[in-house]
């Protein structure tokens, strides 16, 4: 029986869905967390063989925890976790303890945006021009070459945090000077629609794909606080809009997994974000070697009549995957409101939204009065819809976004 170590930073709802999936696999399961074991939901405790609490999720404490679990439970076959920030520390633990799976060098291809783009370019995968600027001079030189606007973002960013569109010299001057110790990733600004491609690979070979579209782009959502954000997973799995991108997806994954592709490292669910320009050309933006966020896991579950959390757990723990066909369309709408204020003062239009979304509505987490304002593009609440057709989902998303209004105080 395989010994799987799952890193669950804290036992929050989303993490518990993943944890539950691992508890049902019939493996020897150990859990590492920052939370004490008392925080593990009672019903999930019995199948857990061992638990180790860490003071932080840095590499060193994780090595110590994993080593202790190996000593008490047995050789660790897989070390798994779904958070973006965990991918490099987990890879360093695998390297240190000789555990099969994604190694630190390969993890860098996914976590370091400069290394990622360089790897993609070397493999002739289309991607935006970019540079890692370590001084103001380098930043300016890049802008001279590609022209405004440019995108400036952290080298190992997530959640579109500290990501800016820079449109002129004075905005550029306002950015703190990069240094060798604190470089910034600078990229040509791509005007395009944003899509995702979720791919299951077994030893580096794609065996299943799904894809979504973002309405509008995460950057536009953050630049425009009153815009509500939606993600659409269409009914059609043979729409050329998505399938034409698949060769780039294959090439990108082959390049990023590199020599590790044909090992346990290449058995993964990846989340690729890509741009589709008006002229029909596409560019890879970035790839996470982890399950997607923004409710895409539930959306993939609904549209493929499966439990993707369980399917992912089985994939990364046991290297097993049963491809499921797509049976309907689904979408998620995220509720957010205009700028100003720190807490939700009122939420209106919910009844109308529910009525108009009708039988398409699967679930809704309504923002609550008094709730603190959320920072990111996911807002204070969300709803998930499904329909037999893509247009049915679009109508339902529109009903939600046009009716639900949040005000802050
Ligand atoms: N070169 C670019 N041209 C245009 N827009 C871009 C570019 N790079 C990033 N963006 C915008 O900024 C968003 C965040 O950038 P990116 O996906 O690279 O970073 P991230 O913080 O890791 O993302 P996430 O929000 O997916 O965690 C993108 O979804 C897109 O809207
Ligand atoms: Mg991104």
What pLDDT does 138 receive? 97
Give distance in angstroms: CA of 285 to centre of ligand 1.
Answer: 7
Q: Which residue has the CA at smallest separation from atom 19 of ligand 1?
A: 160
Instruction: Enumerate long-range contacts of 258-262, CB under 8 Å, 24 or more apart.
Output: 258/106, 258/109, 258/119, 260/102, 260/103, 260/105, 260/106, 260/204, 261/201, 261/203, 261/204, 262/203, 262/204
Report phi then psi at 405, rounded to 5.
-130, 130
Q: What is the pLDDT of residue 173?
A: 92
When pLDDT is averaged across residues 292-314 and rounded to a whole number, the result is: 98
Residue 176's pLDDT is 85
Whether the CB of 219 sits within 6 Å of ligand 1 = yes
Using most ligand atoms within 8 A of CB, pick from 87, 151, 222, 278 the residue to mutate for ligand 1: 151
Place of tokens 């309907």: 328
Percentage of the chain exceeding pLDDT 90: 93
Decide if pLDDT at 226 tops 80. no
Q: Report pTM.
A: 0.97
The CB of 166 under 6 Å from ligand 1? The reply is: no
Among 366, 351, 370, 375, residue whose Cα is nearest residue 408: 370
Percent above pLDDT 70 for the chain: 100
Distance from the alpha carbon of residue 160 to the mean position of ligand 1, in angstroms: 6
Are the C-beta atoms of 286 and 273 separated by less than 8 Å? Answer: yes
Confidence of residue 8 (pLDDT cuts 50, 70, 90): very high
Q: Report the distance separating Cα 270 and Cα 393, nearest Å.
A: 25
**SS3 state at 359:** helix
Interhelix angle 390-403/350-357, nearest 10 degrees = 170
Mean pLDDT within 368-391: 95
- Are 19 and 6 in contact, with CB atoms under 8 Å apart? yes
Query: What's the whole-number mean pLDDT along residues 9-37?
Result: 97
More confident residue, 220 or 69: 69
305: number of Cβ within 10 Å: 11
Q: What is the pLDDT of residue 305?
A: 98
The closest ligand to the CA of 113 turns out to be 1
For residue 220, give the ligand 1 atom closest to its CA. 31
Q: Dihedrals φ, ψ of 127, to 5°? A: -155, 160
CA of 288 to the centre of ligand 2 (A): 8
What pLDDT is stored for residue 223 in this prediction?
86
**DSSP-assigned letter for residue 258:** G
Residue nearest to atom 14 of ligand 1 (CA): 160
Ligand 1 atom with minimal separation from the 376 CA:
25
Instruction: Tokens for 307, please give them.
Output: 């439990």
Q: Which two tokens stand for residue 66?
A: 């994993």
> Which residues fall inside 5 Å of ion ligand 2, going by CB?
273
Specify the pLDDT at position 96.
Answer: 98
Please, which pLDDT band fits residue 126 given cuts at 50, 70 and 90? very high
Banded pLDDT at 160 (limits 50, 70, 90)? confident
Distance CA(218)–CA(386), nearest Å, equals: 22
Q: Which pLDDT band, with edges at 50, 70 and 90, does 169 fall under?
A: very high
Q: Say yes or no: CB of residue 159 within 6 Å of ligand 1.
A: yes
What does DSSP assign to residue 236?
Answer: -
- Cβ atoms of 406 and 337 closer than 8 Å: yes
Residue-level pLDDT at 157: 85
Is 244 in contact with 211 (CB distance < 8 Å)? Answer: no
DSSP string, 378-405: T-SEEEEEEESSHHHHHHHHHHHHHH-E
Indicate the helix (H) or strand (E) that contains 310.
helix 308-318
CA distances from 86 to 4, 8, 30 (A): 16, 10, 17
Task: Report residue 252: phi and psi, to 5°.
Answer: -65, -45
**Omega of the bond leading into 149 within 30 degrees of 0 (cis):** yes
Cβ of 286 closer than 6 Å to ligand 1, yes or no, is yes
With tokens 């009122």, the residue in question is 346
Terminal Cα-to-Cα distance of the chain (whole angstroms): 55
Q: Whose CA is nearest to atom 22 of ligand 1?
A: 158
- Indicate if the pLDDT at residue 211 is higher than 90: yes
Cβ(380) – ligand 1 distance below 6 Å: no
With CA atoms as reference, report the closest residue to 289 among 307, 326, 264: 264
Q: Phi first, then psi: give them for residue 101, nearest 5 degrees.
A: 130, -170
HSE, CB side, 13 Å, CA atoms: give it for residue 386. Answer: 16
């Amino acid at each position: 029986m395989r010994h799987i170590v799952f890193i669950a930073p804290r036992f929050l709802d989303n993490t518990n869905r993943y944890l539950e999936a691992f508890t049902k696999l019939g493996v020897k399961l150990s859990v590492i967390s920052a939370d004490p074991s008392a925080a593990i939901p009672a019903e999930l405790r019995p199948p857990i063989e061992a638990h180790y609490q860490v003071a932080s999720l840095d590499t060193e404490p994780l090595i110590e925890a994993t080593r202790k679990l190996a000593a008490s439970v047995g050789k660790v076959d897989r070390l798994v976790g779904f958070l973006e920030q965990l991918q490099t520390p987990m890879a360093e633990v695998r390297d240190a303890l000789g555990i099969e799976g994604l190694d630190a060098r390969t993890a860098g291809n996914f976590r370091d945006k400069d290394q990622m783009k360089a790897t993609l370019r070397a493999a002739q995968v289309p991607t935006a021009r970019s540079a890692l600027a370590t001084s103001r001079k380098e930043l300016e030189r890049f802008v001279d070459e590609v022209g405004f606007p440019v995108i400036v973002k952290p080298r190992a960013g997530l959640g579109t945090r500290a990501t800016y569109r820079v449109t002129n010299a004075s905005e550029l001057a306002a950015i703190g000077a990069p240094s060798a110790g604190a470089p910034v990733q600078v990229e040509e600004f791509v005007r395009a629609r944003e899509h995702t491609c979720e791919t299951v690979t077994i030893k580096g070979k794609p065996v299943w794909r799904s894809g979504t579209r973002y309405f509008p782009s995460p950057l536009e959502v953050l630049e425009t606080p009153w815009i509500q954000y939606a993600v659409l997973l269409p009914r059609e799995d043979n729409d050329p809009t998505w399938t034409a991108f698949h060769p780039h997806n294959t090439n990108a994954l082959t390049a990023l997994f590199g020599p590790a592709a044909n090992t346990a490292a290449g058995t993964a669910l990846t989340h690729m974000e890509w741009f589709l320009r008006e002229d029909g050309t596409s560019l890879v933006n970035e790839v996470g070697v982890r399950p997607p966020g923004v409710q895409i896991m539930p959306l993939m579950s609904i549209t493929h009549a499966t439990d993707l959390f369980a399917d992912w757990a089985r994939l990364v723990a046991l290297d097993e995957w049963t491809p499921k066909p797509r049976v309907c369309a689904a979408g998620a709408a995220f509720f957010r409101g205009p700028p100003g204020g720190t807490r939700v003062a009122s939420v209106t239009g919910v009844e109308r939204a529910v009525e108009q979304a009708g039988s398409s509505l699967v679930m809704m987490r309504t923002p609550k009065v008094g709730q603190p304002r959320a920072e990111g593009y996911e807002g204070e609440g969300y709803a998930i819809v499904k329909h037999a057709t893509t247009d049915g989902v679009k109508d339902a998303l529109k009903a939600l976004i046009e009716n639900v209004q949040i005000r802050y105080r």
